[in-house]
Every structure is written in C-alpha cells, then in structure tokens.
Chain A
Amino acid sequence: MDLAILVQLLINGILLGGVYAMAAVGLSLIFGVSGVLNLAHGEFLMLSGFFVYVVYDRLGLNPFLAVALVAPCFFVVGYLFEMGLIRPLALRKEHVRLASATLVTLGVALIVEDATSFASLGGSFEKSVDIFVPTLVLGTVFLPSLKLVIFAVVLALIAALFLFLKYTYIGLAVQAVTQNRRGAVLNGVNTFRINAIAFGIGTFMAAAAGGFEVIHSAVAPDIGLPLTLKYLSIIVMGGLGSFAGVALGGVIIGLGEALVGFYNPAWGQTVAYLLLVAILLVRPKGLLGK
C-alpha cells in the first residue's frame, strides 16, 4: 500500500474513532455508575441531531452554535429519563433491577425509532446540515477540516469530563458510586441523584455526538440501534471502568474499519466485532479494564 494512502487511512480512522469515543464514553459513564446498559443511547443521539438541524434550519444559527444550545438540553432529558423510568425500578432486587432497566431502555429505543419514522416534520426525518469547510491538504494527504474541528471538540469534552470527575465534589461522588455503590450510600451519598447526573452527562455526550453526526454526515430514524451496538462493543473492548480504555477502543475500531475497509467494505464493518473477540480472548477484562 502506498504510504500516502496509509497515512490517509490512519488519519481517517483516528478521526472516526474519536467521534465514536465520545458517545461511547457517555454510555460507559452511565453503565459504570448505575449499572444500566442504556440501549436508548443512540436514540438520544439521533434526536439531538434532528433538533440541531431544526435549530440550524429555522433560526439560521451556525451549526456548532446549534449543538452548543441543543446538547446541554439533553442533560436534562437524560436526568429526567433516569428519574422517570429507571429509578422506579430501583426497589427491586439487584439482578432483576438491572435486567428490567436495560429492557426498559430497549423499549424506549424501539418506541423512539418508530415514532420518529411516523413523524413528518417538514417532510421526512432524514436530515443533514449543509456545511462545508475546505479541506486542508498537506501534499497528497487530505485533512477534512470539519472532522478535525469535531475531533478537537470531542477531545475537549472528554478532557472536561475527566477534570470534572477528578476535581469536583460531585465528580468525586460519581467515582465513589462507580467503585463501591454500597459504600457510597453508607457514606451519605444520594446515589439516586448521582445516577441521574450520570445519565444526564452521558446523554449530553450522546447529544453532542448526534449534533456532530448531522453536521458531518446525516441522521435518520434508524441510525440509533446500530450505533448503540457499536458503542457497547467499544465499551466492552476498552474495559469497564476506564475512559481511556473506551477512547482507545474507539480509535482501534475506527482504524480497523478504515484499514480493512480499504480492501473490502463489508469486512471493514465486521472487523470491529472480530477485534472485540480477539481482544477479549487475550484480555478478558478489556484493554484497560479493572
């Protein structure tokens, strides 16, 4: 393979992985704190993308500004979602609770997907933001500017999350709940509130990813569940309890898709799952799992 092509594929893969990583980190946070696999994660991503489009289209705002407006609203959505649908299940026994909660999120995912394909705001639900920033070209290597901007924002958000967890009191409580729920409760932490906060932050990150999705690609009602599945794979591959692992997992999958996809697009999609199996065989807890 040509060196220039290899470099190009590596860049594409890393940029792609970064975008995967953000929503995956959000899902990992929710899972780590509350123990619930939020299968509706991808739906929030899709809905956010749709609303970002509406804000951009109707109000004429810069799309990134639209994301900055819409994504924080989804913190509230995630928070209320946990309070309304997940918390009522908290009174059941542990293993039943987690299974029920996960099924509830699956139900919500299916309902949202169905409902949005019924809706017809302004035609169909398939939207894409018309924006183009000229690509930076270094020799024969193309650096898609839009994707670079998005990647930078993703890094910033993940870094912000990391700082939040390390240096704020609520962040400390979130870490505590993730590591030892019972212990946190007995130390006075209101774990219900922490659960809701985790859902809020995680959903906010999915919403940001959705906003970026409608900017650099497009959204449609059925993109939610396949993406959620991909994020689950990334989380398991990266190892539970480690954001660095999730970010690494995202990049590995991005690279795998780009490199293998060059030879065969169909295998490019499958390689993600093959890598998952391979990594788990070698390291059952995931790359950086605890």
Chain B
Amino acid sequence: MLNKSCSLSRLGVAALALMASLLAWAIATPVQAQTEILIGGTIAQSGSLQGIVKPFGALGQAWVDDVNSRGGIYLSKLGRKLPVRMILYDDQSEPPTALKQYERLATVDKVHLFIGPFSSFVTNAAMQASIKHKIPFFMVEANDAVLFEENNNWRATGLAPAAWEYKRVAELYKRMGGASTFAVLSRDNLHERGAAQGFADEVKRQGFTVVYKEEAPKDIKDFSSIILAMKGKNPDVVLIEALPPPWNIGFLKQARELGLNPQDIVVGHTPIPVIKGMGESAENIVSSLYMFDGDTPDHLRFAKLCAAAGFEPWQYSESGIRYRAYRRIEDALERAGSLDADEIRIAMWTTGMTLFGEETMKHDHEGYGTDHPYPTQVKGGKHVSLWPLEKGAATHQYKMGKW
C-alpha cells in the first residue's frame, strides 16, 4: 500500500513539476523576446556603392554602443530600458541581395524594425520585405520619387525630396550677394535632374537668373562643348550635380584647361577622390553636405560617433543622414513605448523632433522628411561648414576664377 501511494505521489510530483516548467517556459518565451531591441538592415560593404558607405557599419555599431552605455532605450509600456542590437548584412550594392537579406532579417532574425540601405534603388527592393512582414522601415539615404509611387505606410524617409538639395546653397548666395547669374549642369539621371531643377527654381525664387541649364549623359567624356557654351553665357556661379567622381573630375579638369573661371563653382558631390584629383584647384569649391558646425548635444554626439567609426563627417557626407536616422529610431521607440510594430510605425510617422538645435524633422503625407544638406567649402583639402548663414557668409570666399 505504501509503495503504491509513494509511486503515485512521485508520479504526481513529476507531473506537477513538468506542468510548472511548461507553464514557466510558455510565460518565459515572450519575456525572452522583450530583452532587447533588435534592428535589422543592410549596408554596402562591397560593390559599386562601398566607396561611399564603407564606415557606416562601424558607425551603426558606435551608435549601438553609445545607446547601450546608457542602459538602452526606455520603453514606457515595459517600464524599463532595453538594450539595442543591430544586425547589418552586406547587400553588395545589389537590390536582389538586399531583398533576400531583409527577408532573412524578418523571418530568421525576427527584428523589430528595419533600417534602410544606401541608395534609392536598393531601398526600393528592400521595401518589399517590410510591406510583406509588416515591419516598420526607417529609410535612410533614399528619396527618389519612385519610392513614393505607391501608398505604403510601413516606410518613411528622413530626407526631403531631391529638389531641396541645394536650397540652403541658394539661400547662402542670397545672403552673401556678389553673384547674380547661375549655370547649372547635371548628369542625366533621375536624382541629379531633380536636384538640379530644384536649385534652378530656388535660385529664381531668390531673384537670380539662370543663364545656362543642361543635362549631359552619363558616359560623356569630353565636356569641352558644354564648357564653351557656358563660357559664352558668362555665369557668376557654376553648379555641377553628378554623383560619380570621374564625371565631376572630368568636367573640372577640362573647365580648368579651357579657361572657365567663374566667381564660384559648386560641386554638389566632392568626396575625397575629387579633392585629391584636383589638388590645389579644389580650394574654395562650394559643396553641399549633411553637416554643419555647432555645439548642440546632437553635434557633439555625431562627431563622437564618427570618430569612433574612424572618420570625420565631411569625408563621408551621408553619415549625417545615417545619424539622423538613428535619432528618428530612438524618437519613435521612446514615443511608441513598446516593440509593437504598429505603434512604432505610427510613432515614426508622427515625429516632430528637433535635431541639431534648429532642424525640425517631420514627415509629409507621402513619406518624405525634411533633411536637406548644408553648404560647405573646401579649404586646405577638407570641407569647412558654411552654416549658419551669418557665419557662412563671413567664412566663404569666392573662388574668383582661381584654379
């Protein structure tokens, strides 16, 4: 009798223990998932875009480390801070690769939100994963019109439309005075056309005249005809909008040879290859970068993160866009207060935060943001900020045709 009851009770205890652990495990699993904020994305560590974004993986990690050093991000609905973890894959600058990797991030890694890749065309492919799996997508360096053709409220970009790219440059010339006629040349590509047109419109709005505006094909090698035509119009300021360094270098070298000596030259994209290729002639080239000088907390933090990733902001201008994306993510998570996809998404769209002391980040109904770059000038082989306007107007020196 005793043995039977002993074994029965042993069985009972075992069964209770099993049920208890099953219950604990069932309860524990959702709690497991809420021990960290998982962000997923891709960045081009190889392929045609790598030269532009090489250090951005390290930049992302620097941001993660910085956030976690303060314990993470506070989520009110959980009542505590959660640390952040970011998984970044190499999309090789290829849209199909990016899509596969975002799929993987959604289904295998099970991230809570996406951070976008570099460039509109890669983002366009990656976006599909966000729609399919209903994961909020924080677009970064992407603002092509094609991204906003369909109504899709799972994604939003921080960038303003391409037309805004030279808005502040035009404002600077208005502030400074000393120039009234403008020549605009852009590469024949969606983004560059939009940016150049935006500048031309802005210039006219400021009361100046556009004396030359032209688009040239991507494979053009000889700019002499264009330069001659520009010379004939005698512009005060010449603006070149093209992404690839060789295109810009070709134009600048030939302009130098053929005696195009305007008062100022604006080359929207002047990364290191262009500065090195032009040597002394790069001095005083005006450009447009996602950074300006200041000592707000954002400024200090941005500089710190770039330093941790091993570069200065002007060397990889789009790092400014990346940083603002990290801030948008922090802002959205804090206001959502949870890891719920819908709440994060709504928080993303309803942001109205202030950045760098003077920027107001807002999304319009399509999904565009308000980030647009600031004027800079090359001095001694580096970019120097020409913002705020008063400081810029004082620091800026006209190139005066000096090569």
Contacts and interface: CB of A to CB of B under 8 A. Distances in A.
Q: Do A and B come from one complex?
A: yes
Interface of A: 5, 8-9, 12, 16, 117-118, 120, 123-132, 135, 137, 142, 144-147, 216-223, 226, 254, 257-262, 265-266, 268-269
Residue among B188, B221, B278 with the highest chain A CB neighbour number at 10 A:
B221
A127 B277 contact: yes
A40 B272 CA distance: 28
A269 B276 contact: no
Contacts of B232: 5
Interface in B267-282: 272-274, 276-281
Given A137-B259, A142-B259, A222-B48, A265 B273 contact: no
Given A5-B232, A132-B403, A266-B188, 15 more contacts: A8-B228, A118-B46, A118-B47, A123-B51, A123-B272, A124-B245, A128-B273, A128-B274, A129-B277, A132-B253, A142-B259, A220-B244, A223-B246, A259-B225, A262-B225
B214 interface: yes
Interface string B217-233: 10111101110110010
Interface string B280-304: 1100000000000000000000000
Residue among B54, B277, B280 with the highest chain A CB neighbour number at 10 A:
B277
B217 A126 contact: no
B257 A266 contact: no
Contacts of A130: 276-280
10 contacts: A5-B232, A117-B47, A126-B244, A126-B273, A128-B249, A135-B257, A221-B48, A261-B225, A266-B217, A268-B220
B50 A117 contact: yes
Contacts of A124: 50-52, 245, 273
The 4 closest A-B pairs by CB, nearest first: A124-B51, A128-B277, A130-B279, A261-B225
B246 A218 contact: yes
B222 A132 contact: no
A266 B226 CA distance: 11
B226 A265 contact: yes
Interface string B251-272: 0011011110000000000001
Given A118-B50, A126-B244, A128-B277, A258 B272 contact: no
A266 B215 contact: yes
A231 B246 CA distance: 20
Contact of B253 (A142, A216, A226): A216
Contact of B219 (A16, A125, A269): A269
B250 interface: yes
A116 B215 CA distance: 28
Contacts of A259: 225
A260 B93 CA distance: 35
B51 A5 contact: no
Classify chain B's interface size: 35 or more
B216 interface: yes
Contacts of B246: 126, 128, 217-220, 223
Contacts of B256: 132
A168 B238 CA distance: 53
Contacts of A129: 277
A43 to B, nearest CB: 15
A120 B50 contact: yes
Contacts of B257: 135, 142, 144-147
B250 A218 contact: yes
Contacts of A145: 257
Contacts of A219: 246
B50 A266 contact: no
A24 to B, nearest CB: 14
B225 A9 contact: yes
Nearest to B247: A218
A126 B403 CA distance: 22
Contact of B259 (A5, A125, A135, A268): A135
B1 to A, nearest CB: 79
B273 A123 contact: yes
B226 A217 contact: no
A8 B254 CA distance: 13
Contact of A9 (B93, B224, B273): B224
Residue among B50, B225, B246, B403 with the highest chain A CB neighbour number at 10 A:
B225
A220 B222 contact: no
A266 B229 CA distance: 14
B244 A16 contact: no
B199 to A, nearest CB: 18
Given A132-B281, A257-B222, A218 B217 contact: no
B277 A261 contact: no
A266 B189 CA distance: 12
A90 B226 CA distance: 47
B253 A217 contact: yes
